[in-house]
């Protein structure tokens, strides 16, 4: 069963559960954080997940959406097909945009038509510039007015104007072109319909000419470019990274918050709302700390506040109170929170998440100990309606490496609820978590807890040392039922560097004998998610041989702690080149890439606008000192 089929089945089952079986802990947010979310969820932006051509004004939910009418009954609205595996008729090519919605640009390809749609804010007003590039005979441009998420309000049309009426606010919407009456347009919303034979300007508030709208668009576009240009040769990479994160930032009406799920396709096609995956969301928060304090805080806090009653951050939390009750995912939260804190130095942010992160840290020892080691697992849930978990398959999912050959034929202990596998990667993650959380505890003056965490970091570092194989020069995983060393290497075998648990000499051996050896990892495109000589690499399917940005990022973080300039430079350059080649070709940022060709579009299960792919570029910002 592939991952997508597996997730769809899970989602259908979860939606049938009683809410009491699904709801995680209700955590209190501080006044500072609530104010941050109020500020985020305000003004014009592309807040509606299912329509990237819709501008919504929060908190009212008033929307202006661009739709296209074609031949016969063909009508394009609710457009979000950036990901190429979606079976939808449109193709969207995202362009430059800001994170706060002050400027966006999108090219729409549909039925032989090509239209560029730009938006910009001017104070509290919105302007749209719709520029047809290539059109067919039947094309019409439609501007729809609506109210999203069943919020209170009314919309209508008055002459050649649209309007939105709310308790304390009225929106007026006009156009620089003359709309015409089209009784056959396929919408039930108040709308303006235009022929595509000229550039069309749309505005709210005071009347504006096309020239005035173009000047506002040009001004705001230049502001985005100026911001990117601060990064010199990395300007294009900044535009790509900011773009994929900003386009995937949405409003969640269920919890009245702004969040950044992995992609709109995952939200709409599988989860019927949104999904936040554990380590994906933390990595998104870290990237956003480069350009948006509020988005960085929001995603780190919301993922952390998803903690379950059992005391762990779940593998995912999704719409309809859906979350994984049997398993977690790699513990990167404390590391990311500490790195974000270094950028902004606001103690309340640490106070907001510390208790949950500490609970999660302690949970691993209580629930994932395997003798002296730690192992991935999936425990049973005390609810008869929760019908999955407590199997080898779900224990592997906790690793985040859903189908990695590392775990092929590794047995699952049904009494301990864990894999019979001493995992080098998990130990590396956990030591890093202990060290990062200890630093946070010291910032908060929690000396006793810092000492507790330091002790655990030291203890598991000593445990990790027992997995070093001197003759081979590598940290090996080990079967805990047989004691057999597992020599199927993955980038996770380099994670002792991430934990700073290896000596300089050990690090040099690992890099020279494995990283730079084409039999294992080296090549034009890196890093493969399993060594090239491991059976399963040739499958080129998800974690079976493909390149994943978080692995490159984590190995790079490990290299930063050692004097390994050759490998560090090599990984930075290859990661950057891999991302930017595809971005410059077609605006894609893939979930994963082919390790032989560098392509992302050669398989069905590589979302082409998945935010953690931008970690490939983020590495360069770290390397060049633009962020801690």
Task: Kindly write down the DSSP assignment for every residue of 403-467, as one continuous string.
Answer: T-GGGTT--EETTTTEESEE-HHHHHHHHHHHHHHHHHHHHTT-HHHHHHHHHHHHHHHHHHHTT
Confidence bin at 85 (pLDDT 50/70/90): low
Instruction: Check pLDDT > 80 for residue 1.
Output: no
Specify whether the CB–CB gap between 70 and 76 falls below 8 A: yes
Question: Whose CA is closest to 531, among 425, 405, 424, 427?
Answer: 405
Between CA 112 and CA 68 the distance in angstroms is: 12
pLDDT score at 9: 46
Q: pLDDT value at position 2?
A: 47
Report the range of poorest mean pLDDT among 105-114, 209-218, 224-233: 105-114
Averaged pLDDT of the chain: 93
Measured CA to CA in angstroms, residue 508 lies from 412, 467, 512, 514 at distances of: 34, 17, 6, 10
CA distance 566 to 191: 59
Question: Residue 84: its pLDDT value, please?
Answer: 63
Q: Residue 18: what pLDDT?
A: 37
Percent of the chain with pLDDT over 70: 95
Percent of the chain with pLDDT strictly greater than 90: 86
- Which residues lie closer than 8 Å to 4 by C-beta, 6 or more apart? 270, 605
DSSP string computed for 221-243: HHHHHHHHHTTGGGHHHHHHHHH
What are the structural domains, with CATH classification, of the chain? 3-17+256-623 (1.50.10.10), 42-229 (2.70.98.10)
**pLDDT tens digits along 235-284:** 999 999 999 999 999 999 999 999 999 999 888 878 889 999 999 999 99
Q: What is the pLDDT of residue 16?
A: 42
Pick the closest to residue 419 from 493, 340, 496, 482 (CA basis). Answer: 482
pLDDT score for 417:
97
pLDDT grade for 26, boundaries at 50, 70 and 90? low
Q: What is the pTM of this model?
A: 0.95
Q: Which residue has the tokens 């005391």?
A: 311
For 192, phi then psi, to 5°, come to -120, 135
């Amino acid at each position: 069963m592939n991952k997508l089929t597996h997730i769809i089945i899970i989602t259908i089952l979860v939606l049938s559960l009683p809410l009491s079986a699904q709801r995680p802990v209700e955590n209190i947010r501080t006044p500072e954080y609530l104010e941050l979310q109020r500020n985020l969820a305000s003004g014009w932006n592309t807040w509606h997940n299912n329509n990237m051509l819709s501008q919504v004004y929060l908190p009212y939910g008033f929307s202006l959406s661009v739709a296209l009418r074609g031949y016969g009954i063909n009508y394009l609205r609710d457009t979000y097909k950036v990901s190429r595996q979606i079976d939808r008729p449109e193709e969207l090519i995202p362009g430059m945009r800001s994170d706060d919605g002050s400027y966006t640009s999108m090219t729409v390809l549909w039925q032989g038509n090509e239209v560029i749609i730009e938006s910009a804010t001017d104070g509290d007003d919105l302007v749209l510039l719709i520029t047809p590039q290539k059109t067919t005979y039947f094309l019409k441009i439609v501007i729809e007015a609506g109210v999203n998420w069943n919020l209170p309000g009314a919309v209508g049309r008055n002459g050649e104007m649209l309007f939105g009426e709310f308790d304390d606010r009225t929106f007026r919407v006009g156009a620089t072109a003359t709309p015409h009456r089209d009784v056959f347009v396929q919408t039930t919303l108040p709308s303006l319909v235009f022929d595509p034979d000229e550039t069309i300007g749309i505005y709210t508030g005071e009347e504006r000419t096309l020239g005035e709208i173009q000047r506002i668009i040009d001004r705001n576009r230049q502001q985005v470019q100026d911001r990117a240009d601060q990064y010199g040769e990395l300007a294009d990479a900044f535009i790509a990274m900011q773009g994929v994160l900003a386009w995937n930032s949405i409003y969640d009406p269920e919890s009245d918050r702004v969040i950044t799920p992995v992609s709109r396709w995952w939200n709409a096609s599988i989860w019927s709302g949104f999904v936040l995956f554990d380590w994906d969301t933390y990595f998104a928060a870290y990237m956003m700390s480069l350009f948006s304090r509020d988005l960085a805080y929001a995603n780190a806090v919301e993922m952390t506040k998803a903690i379950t009653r059992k005391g762990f951050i779940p593998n995912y939390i999704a719409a309809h109170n859906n979350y994984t009750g049997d398993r977690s995912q790699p513990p990167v939260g404390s590391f990311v929170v500490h790195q974000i804190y270094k950028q902004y130095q606001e103690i309340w942010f640490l106070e907001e998440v510390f208790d949950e992160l500490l609970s999660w840290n302690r949970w691993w020892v209580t629930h994932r100990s395997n003798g002296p080691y730690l192992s991935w697992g999936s425990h049973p849930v005390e609810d008869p309606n929760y019908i999955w978990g407590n199997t080898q398959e779900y224990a592997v999912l906790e690793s985040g490496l859903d189908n990695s050959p590392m775990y092929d034929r590794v047995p699952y202990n049904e009494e301990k609820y864990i894999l019979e596998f001493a995992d080098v990667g998990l130990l590396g993650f956990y030591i890093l978590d202990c060290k990062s959380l200890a630093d946070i505890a010291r910032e908060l003056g929690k000396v006793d807890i810092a000492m507790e965490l330091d002790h655990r970091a030291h203890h598991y570092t000593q445990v990790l040392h027992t997995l070093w194989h001197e003759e081979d020069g590598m940290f090996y995983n080990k079967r805990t039922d047989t004691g057999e060393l597992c020599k199927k290497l993955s980038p996770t075998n380099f994670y002792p560097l991430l934990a700073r648990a290896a000596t300089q000499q050990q690090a040099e051996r690992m890099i020279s004998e494995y990283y730079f050896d084409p039999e294992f990892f080296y090549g034009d495109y890196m890093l493969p998610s399993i060594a090239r000589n491991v059976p399963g690499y040739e499958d080129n399917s998800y974690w079976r041989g493909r390149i994943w940005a978080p692995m490159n990022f984590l190995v790079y973080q490990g290299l930063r702690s050692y004097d390994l300039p050759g490998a560090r430079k090599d990984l930075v350059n290859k990661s950057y080149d891999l991302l930017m080649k595809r971005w410059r070709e077609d605006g894609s940022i893939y979930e994963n890439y082919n390790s032989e060709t560098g392509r992302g579009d050669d398989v069905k299960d590589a979302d082409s606008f998945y935010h953690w792919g931008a970690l490939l570029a983020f590495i360069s910002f770290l390397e060049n000192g633009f962020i801690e």
